[in-house]
Amino acid sequence: MSGQSIIGRILIAAAALGAALAAASADAQTYRCVGKDGRKYYGQVPPAQCAGQPTEMLDAQGVVMRRPPPAAPKKADAAGKDQAAKKKVEDPAAREERLRNAALLDTYANVKEIELARSRALEEINRAKKEIEKRIDEAKKRQATAKSDLESNKGGGNPQALEAAYDSATQDVKSQQNLLTHKLKEADDINAKYDDDKRRYILLTGAAK
C-alpha cells in the first residue's frame, strides 16, 4: 500500500472523527435550574436539586434551547387567596362583638360604674317586687276570707257569689305570683348582663376586679 493511500485514509478518518465530535458537541445539552436554596445547578441530566423547580435546557454554547412553560397557579394557592380575600370582609359575629366591646368601653370608665348601673337596674326591679308581694298578700287575705265565708256561709250570703269571690281571689293570687316569678327572672337576667359586662371590661382593660 502506498504512503499516499495511507495518508489519505488517515485524513478521511480524522475528518470523520472531527465531524462526529462536532455533531456530539452540537447535540450536547445542559440542564440548569435555581434550587430551593437559591443556588444554580447544572448537569447533563436534570440535577436532583431541580426536582419540582423550573429547569432550562442549554446547548453547548450555553444558549437556552427550551424554557419551562409558565407554571399554572396551584389550586391550593388560589384557594388560599380566596380565603384571604374573604377574611378581609369582617365576619358579622366578629363585627358585632367588636361593636359591643367599643360600646362597653364608651359607657363605663371603670368597674365601679358597672356596679352602680347594676344597682340602679335592680333597684327598679326590687320596688316592683315589693309592690307585687304586697298585692299577693292582699289577694291571699281576700282568698282566705272568701273561703271562710263560703264554708260557714255567714250572714246567709249567696253561695254562688261567695264562690265567685273565692275564685276571683284565687286567680288574683296566681296572677300576681306569675308576675313575681317574671320579675325574679328579670333580676337574674340583669345580674347576668352586668356580670358579663364586668368580665369583658376587665378582660379588655386589665382593670382590677
| Residues 112 and 60 placed together within one structural domain of the fold | no
Judge whether 101 lies within some domain: no
Q: How many CA atoms lie within 13 A of 199 on its CB side?
A: 6
- In terms of C-beta density within 10 A (0-12 exposed, 13-18 middle, 19 or more buried), how is residue 169 classed? buried
Query: Where among 16, 36, 66 does a domain terminate?
Result: 66
Give the structural domain span for 47: 3-66
Query: Which residue's entry shows cell 368580665?
Result: 199
Judge whether 102 lies within some domain: no
| Residues 58 and 123 placed together within one structural domain of the fold | no
Q: Which of 58-62, 125-129, 133-137 has the lowest mean pLDDT?
A: 58-62
Element (H, E) at 47: none
Query: Where among 66, 99, 120 does a domain terminate?
Result: 66
Name the domain count of the chain: 2
Judge whether 87 lies within some domain: no
Query: Where among 13, 46, 66 does a domain terminate?
Result: 66
Mean pLDDT for 19-27 is: 45
| Residues 55 and 117 placed together within one structural domain of the fold | no
Positive or negative torsion for Cα 156, 158, 159, 163: negative
Report the pLDDT value the prediction gives residue 24, as an integer from 0 to 100.
Answer: 43
Q: Nine-digit cell at 55?
A: 429547569
Judge whether 81 lies within some domain: no
| Residues 51 and 130 placed together within one structural domain of the fold | no
Judge whether 127 lies within some domain: yes
Per-position b or e across 126-144, b if 16+ CB within 10 A of its CB? eebbeebeebbeebbebbe
Judge whether 153 lies within some domain: yes
Q: Provide Rg for the chain, Cα atoms.
A: 48
- In terms of C-beta density within 10 A (0-12 exposed, 13-18 middle, 19 or more buried), how is residue 122 classed? middle
CA–CA separation, 111 vs 199, rounded Å?
9
| Residues 112 and 51 placed together within one structural domain of the fold | no
| Residues 112 and 187 placed together within one structural domain of the fold | yes
Judge whether 191 lies within some domain: yes
| Residues 201 and 115 placed together within one structural domain of the fold | yes
Report the pLDDT value the prediction gives residue 68, as an integer from 0 to 100.
Answer: 65
Report whether pLDDT(36) > 70. Answer: yes
Q: Is there a contact between 68 and 42 (Cβ–Cβ < 8 Å)?
A: no
Nearest to 170 by CA among 131, 197, 133, 143: 143
Q: Nine-digit cell at 66?
A: 427550551
CA–CA separation, 8 vs 178, rounded Å?
127
Q: Is there a contact between 53 and 34 (Cβ–Cβ < 8 Å)?
A: yes
| Residues 118 and 174 placed together within one structural domain of the fold | yes
Beta-bridge partner residues of 41: 33
Mean pLDDT for 50-60 is: 83
Judge whether 94 lies within some domain: no
Band (pLDDT 50/70/90 cuts) for residue 159 is confident
| Residues 112 and 62 placed together within one structural domain of the fold | no
